[in-house]
Amino acid sequence: MSSTPLSIGTRSRASLARLAEQLRKSPYIVRWLVLGTLIGATAGLVVVAFAHAITFSNQVLLRDLGGYSAPTAFASGDHPGSLHLTRAWALPLLVGAGGLLAGIVTLFAPEVRGSGTDVAIDAANGNPRSMRLRSIPAKIVASAFTIGSGGSGGPEGPSAQVAAGVGSALTRALDLTPGDGRIAVAIGLGAGIGCVFRAPLGGAILSAEILYRQDSEVQVIIPSTIASIIAYTVFSIFEGFSPLMGFSGQSYVYRHPSNLLWFLLIGLLGAAVGIAYAKTMSVVRRFAGRLGSSKWATILRPALGGVAVGALAIGMPGVLGAGNGWTQRALGIGLLALPLWFVLMMPLAKIAATSLTVGSGGSGGLFSPGMLIGAYVGAACWRLLHAHFHAIPNSPAAFVIVGMMCCLGSIARAPLAITVMAAEMTSAIGVIAPALLAVGVATMLVGYSDITLIDAQLRSRDDTPGRRLVSGMPMLEGIPVSDVMRPPTLVLRGQETSARAYQQITALHVPGAPVTDEQDLFVGIVTDALLRDAAGTSPDTPVGRIANREAPTTSPDGRLSVALASMIAGETSWLPALDSQRHVTGILTNTDIVRGYRHVLAASMRRLSQISSATSALEVTVPDGSDLTGRQLSEIALPPGSVIVTISRGDDLLAPSGASSLQAGDVLNALVPEAAREAFLRLFRVGNHDPAAPLPEDSKDPSTDT
């Protein structure tokens, strides 16, 4: 029997609901082993498709039409590239055409403009559900046009956005909490960049480091390591397992402290050039913004930027594309074959070209150009010093690699991740020790200037939207949604017309309603504003077709702290509460959250008012085999004057009440009168007396004995 599309969708939602329920109940490491594998494998495949799209576009536009072949990195064959430009006059036209085509794509998905890293970080720090699925193919196409035609941008930023989009899609499909959704998006970001640079460990660290200018997200590390390894493995099955640059930096050995002087110099110069990179990018973005936001301005901005880059490339062809091949050339002794003026001018030319490409709205990453800029800072130092100082190494590789680490690591505010990443790219383990000094100095100088290459970075975790509000109401963690949610006033069927639905919402004075399918499974939500617009333009449209499927939800057994975070991330004032089968069981509003918090706070204040001055703070664990297991607190004969303040159960912090049932492994924090200390501790020993029985007379607190 054939299935209708609607029944297929219903079965899919039910299957995803079952998977989501299993993951919510799973231990942390199991949950992220599954999610990390899903995100990593999918991200790896998407980045493979993106890499092939860039290769095809580059072959058609730059090589066949432009007559220019850029040098390639070791992993791509280590080809020397064209020795001269055969059709130099065509470069401005081709790069401009690539920008024009990319601009047209952005009309359908404006979020694909720019590097892509900013969009991913915005989602990780804000609403992890917000990255639309359409942005993945749109970003691939726009970036293939931009980079393939010779625009100065790298594939890593777009890879970060499309891989983070995979995490965002999974967040919606499995209805992950805001906390888990942030991790899913962040590890997608790191996995995408790790693939492109063949640096899985660096990508894993980057996920935790890149979100903030002065902080890191430690809880991302383990999930990101899983996702990055899987993504790198999948990517390398198709693209090969060779390191990107293929140079063994182990030929450099750190032997004498005096060598640190040279690397200190690179750190100072790398910081200065990195600051210039970020400031130039900011200036070009502001100037491009003044050209307007109309449809034609959106299309023409990257086209004009492309024309300028193509003109610059006539004199400096090294500015075209990501530039990994030119970075490869700087690593070897062949650097001496390049004119000194070319080596000195390359960082400045690449800064200008990348700012014109990405700052004007073209789609390309900032990291590969940043690596090239830093590489030639180190190369310039080596060229100028090598002829005059015998202590300088015979190979420029160490200087070039440390320059990459200092320049990009400092201005991207990810010094540790970029250091590890550059070492993985070049197999240059030997330079890490002296590089740490140079990168540290560069990071301190950039930090003092408070400048960053990535505008979306927040200062620290405390600046994450809603974090201060949620942390300022700690008792929300112990209150289940079921305690304060209310029955839904209105639930709309997907077949209901928008006009009829708007009439019902208006009559009931509600801001919106959940929408379900014919099996009563949740589909999405509609708001009064959405229905008002739909009723005015297409009144017969079914609400199931216009429902917001990306809207956050909660569950009856979820915690109010998570629900509040979901509201803040989704910029909404209410959430539908769904059971494990995705049936709508209730509605939670911000008013309900405040009411529940005030009730628990008042109860806690009443308990604390009974505490005397001679009181101890105790932490006890309910042991396996204890008579307390399964008992409610109201059934336990606690010593007079004792107050249970919190109950920790796994990752949950519960607010205790008389109806709270204890489980083996629960950790209780309590305030207990000194005279009743031993009696209280005896309750939590295996083989204790009946917890409901009266305590011995000598264990009572005299101060409360009436």
DSSP letter assigned to residue 280: H
Q: Which CATH architecture has domain 467-594?
A: Roll (3.10)
Average pLDDT of span 176-202 = 94
* DSSP 8-state secondary structure symbol assigned to residue 240: -
Please tell me what DSSP assigns to residue 68: -
Mean pLDDT of 669-686: 84
Question: Phi, psi (5° rounding) for residue 215?
Answer: -160, 180
| Tens-digit pLDDT profile for residues 19-33 | 877 888 888 899 999
CB atoms within 10 A of CB 87: 12
First vs last C-alpha separation in the chain:
77
Above 70 in pLDDT, residue 692?
A: no
* Residue corresponding to tokens 């801001």: 511
Strand partners, 617: 671
In the three-class reduction of DSSP (H, G, I as helix; E, B as strand; rest coil), residue 351 is classed as helix
> Tell me, what's the pLDDT at 568?
85
**Could you tell me the pLDDT band of residue 701, with boundaries at 50, 70 and 90?**
very low
Quick one: 144 exposed, middle or buried, by C-beta within 10 A (0-12, 13-18, 19+)?
buried
Sequential DSSP letters for 524-547: EEEEHHHHHHHHHH-TTSBHHHH-
| Non-local CB neighbours of 7 within 8 Å, separated by 6+ positions | none
Which pLDDT band holds residue 6 (cuts at 50, 70, 90)? Answer: very low
pLDDT value at position 478?
A: 78
Please say if the pLDDT value at position 3 is more than 50. Answer: no
Give the pLDDT band of residue 405 (cuts 50, 70, 90): very high
pLDDT band, residue 1 (cuts 50/70/90): very low
| Sequence-ordered alpha helix ranges (H) in 412-479 | 415-426, 432-449, 467-471
pTM to 2 decimal places: 0.83
- In the structure, what pLDDT confidence band is assigned to residue 229 with cuts at 50, 70 and 90? very high
What number of other Cβ atoms are within 10 A of residue 391's Cβ?
10
**Which residues belong to CATH 3.10.580.10 in the chain?**
467-594
Percent of the chain with pLDDT over 90: 53
Asked if residue 546 has pLDDT above 70, the reply is: yes
User: Span 460-469, mean pLDDT?
Assistant: 77
What is the predicted pLDDT for the residue at 8? 53
The owner of tokens 């990453």 is 365
Are 491 and 513 spatial neighbours (Cβ–Cβ below 8 Å)?
yes
What's the pLDDT band for 122 if we cut at 50, 70, 90?
Answer: very high
**Does residue 187 register a pLDDT over 90?**
yes
E-strand ranges in 225-384 read none
pLDDT digits over 343-376, tens only? 999 999 999 999 999 999 999 999 999 999 999 9
d(CA 290, CA 313) in angstroms, rounded, equals 26
Label residue 148 left, alpha or beta by phi (over 0 means left) and psi (-120 to 50 means alpha): alpha
Task: Show the DSSP H helices in 60-133 as ranges.
Answer: 91-106, 117-125
The two structure tokens encoding residue 683 = 């309750």
Which residue in the block uniquely carries the two structure tokens 């900032």? 366
Q: At residue 5, what is the residue type?
A: P
Which phi and psi (to 5°) does residue 664 adopt? -60, 135
Residues of the chain with CATH 3.30.70.1450: 612-704
Query: Greatest CA separation found in the chain?
Result: 102
Contact 245, 327 (CB under 8 A): yes
- Reduced to 3 states (helix: H, G, I; strand: E, B; else coil), residue 585 is strand
Three-state secondary structure along 547-583? Answer: CECCCCCECCCCEHHHHHHHHHHHCCCEEEEECCCCC
Q: Which of 123, 145, 165 is CA-nearest to residue 58?
A: 145
R_g (Cα) of the chain, nearest Å = 30
- Class of 10-244+263-462 per CATH? mainly alpha
Contact between residue 691 and residue 631 where contact means Cβ atoms under 8 Å apart? yes
Please name the helix (run of DSSP H) or strand (run of DSSP E) that holds residue 512, with its range, or none: strand 512-516
Report the CATH fold assignment for 612-704. Answer: Alpha-Beta Plaits (3.30.70)
Q: How many CB atoms lie within 10 A of CB 668?
A: 22
Give the angle subtended at the CA of 282 by the CAs of 280 and 283, to the nearest 5°.
Answer: 65
The strands making up 643-649's β-sheet, listed across from edge to edge, are: 615-621, 667-673, 643-649, 652-654
Q: What is the pLDDT of residue 5?
A: 44
Identity of the amino acid at 356: L
